[in-house]
């Protein structure tokens, strides 16, 4: 009986250790990065105008917290709106690419060619077409996120194991049942890979759009702080962008663990 309890407790203990490691190790990594940054600052003797120290940036975050929060909220809204649109558009197109050979051959060259166009070159055109509102930033996020989500979805649908397809076919399931019961669940790990890649690109897209023309947002704040030689404020905005990216990424990791629990068990 005691042996059985010990064997049953081993997976629980192992999962707890992995959870603690997943929590502690990122903090250790960030601490090392800050230590390297501080070491470079002290060893080089660079002025705060060129490279502010972590302490100076932390103090600036506190003193400019209202400004950072307001502009960060704008960037966050742009990021989430464009990312949501990329999911709504990209996943159905990825499914269509996987299901239709004709559609795949017709659209793949267009998708790959369009993805090769530097999005920085498109940003000024979006401002000309849509003005300085939030719309061009959302479209820029959509353009950057669309391709990895679409490609990951198509790859996931095509990667469904053949034995699963044959099993569901032997049960006389229809195409819709096959999709929702077998092909979509099998594709979810691939789709989440695309989503996790796209979320960091989403923030980059929002900032690129703000660089091209904006009146608010963290990208706009970086430009303004650069023009006023306030390097510490620019670093503070960059820190907020990094923190935002980390939070959004781990929210996707959490969602993946809820929706794809079998991947965690492997």
Counted domains in the chain: 2
Going by pLDDT thresholds of 50, 70 and 90, the confidence category of residue 166 is low
Shared-domain flag, residues 135 and 214: yes
**Quick check: 171 pLDDT over 50?**
yes
Same domain, 105 and 73: yes
What would the 3-class secondary structure string for the chain be? CHHHHHHHHHHHHHHHHHHHHHHHHHHHHHHHHHHHHHHHHHHHCCCCCCCCCHHHHHHHHHHCHHHHHHHHHHHHHHHHHHHHHHHHHHHHHHHHHHHCHHHHHHHHHHHHHHHHCCHHHHHHHHHHHHCCCCHHHHHHHHHHHHHHHHHHHHHHHHCCCHHHHHHHHHCCCCHHHHHHHHHHHHHHHHHHHHHHHHHHHHHHHHHHHHHHCCCCCHHHHHHHHHHCCCHHHHHHHHHHHHHHHHHHHHHHHHHHHHHCHHHHHC
Burial of 29 per CB tally in 10 Å (0-12, 13-18, 19+): exposed
165 and 105 assigned to the same domain: yes
Domain that holds residue 74: 52-265
Closest to 237 (Cα-Cα) out of 251, 224, 252, 250:
224
- Phi and psi at 176, nearest 5°, equal -70, -45
Token digits for 2?
Answer: 């005691």
- The per-residue pLDDT for range 99-115, each reduced to its tens digit, is 899 999 999 898 888 88
Average pLDDT across the chain, whole number? 85
Per-residue pLDDT at 178: 75
Question: Which phi and psi (to 5°) does residue 166 adopt?
Answer: -65, -35
> What is the predicted pLDDT for the residue at 81?
96
Q: What is the pLDDT of residues 8-44, one digit of tens each?
A: 445 556 666 776 777 787 788 888 888 888 888 788 8
Kindly report, residue by residue over 221-232, the tens digit of the pLDDT: 999 887 777 889
Q: Is the same domain home to 233 and 156?
A: yes
Domain match, 128 and 11 both: no
Q: Is residue 158 located within the same domain as residue 126? A: yes
80 and 26 part of one domain: no
């Amino acid at each position: 009986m005691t042996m059985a309890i010990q064997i049953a407790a081993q997976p629980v203990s192992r999962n707890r250790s992995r959870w603690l490691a997943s929590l502690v190790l990122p903090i250790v990594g960030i601490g090392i990065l800050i230590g390297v940054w501080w070491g470079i600052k002290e060893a080089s003797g660079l002025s705060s105008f060129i490279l502010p120290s972590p302490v100076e940036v932390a103090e600036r975050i506190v003193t400019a917290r209202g400004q950072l929060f307001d502009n960060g909220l704008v960037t966050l809204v742009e990021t989430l709106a464009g990312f949501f649109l990329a999911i709504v558009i990209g996943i159905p197109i990825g499914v269509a690419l996987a299901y239709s050979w004709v559609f795949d051959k017709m659209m793949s060259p267009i998708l790959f060619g369009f993805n090769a166009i530097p999005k920085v070159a498109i940003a000024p055109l979006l401002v000309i077409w849509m003005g300085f509102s939030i719309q061009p930033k959302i479209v820029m996020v959509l353009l950057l996120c669309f391709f990895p989500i679409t490609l990951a979805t198509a790859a996931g649908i095509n990667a469904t194991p053949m034995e699963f397809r044959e099993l569901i076919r032997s049960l006389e399931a229809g195409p819709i049942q096959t999709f929702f019961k077998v092909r979509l669940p099998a594709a979810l790990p691939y789709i989440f890979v695309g989503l996790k890649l796209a979320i960091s690109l989403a923030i980059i897209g929002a900032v690129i759009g703000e660089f091209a023309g904006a009146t608010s947002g963290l990208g706009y704040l970086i430009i303004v702080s650069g023009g006023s030689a306030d390097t510490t404020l620019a670093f503070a905005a960059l820190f907020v962008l990094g923190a935002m990216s980390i939070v959004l990424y781990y929210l996707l990791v959490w969602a993946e663990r809820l929706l794809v629990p079998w991947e965690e068990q492997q």
